Structure 1
Amino acid sequence: MDECKLILMGFGAVGKGVAKAISLKKDMINEKYGITLKVVASDDSYTSAISQDVYDEE
């Protein structure tokens, strides 16, 4: 199973909607396409958030 790391640029109505859709549809996406989507960072006009595991160990 492959993992696709995503960065959401903008976390207003659209960004939040994308994050929610990914969360709600993650099992279907995994079954249909064989990938796991993972949001590792997001930002808006005020701040940014980055997951600690955004970089691979290799």
Structure 2
Amino acid sequence: MGPLGVRDLTREVGFSTARIRELTGWEPAVSLADGMARTEVWLRERGLLGVREPSRRG
């Protein structure tokens, strides 16, 4: 994952799950912090963190 991908994943934004919960009863199984920690471990295990992003052309 390159710097632009990391930037998109780490920017601070908020989303409410209230509407989807109202409509479907669905709730996240893990917190955002736990999900991000799990994602970091998964990416590191596969050697995907620290990989340079291809140059953009065009």
User: Same-fold call, TM > 0.5?
Assistant: no
TM-score (norm 1): 0.32
Structure with higher strand content: 1
Question: What TM-score comes out, normalization by structure 2 length?
Answer: 0.32
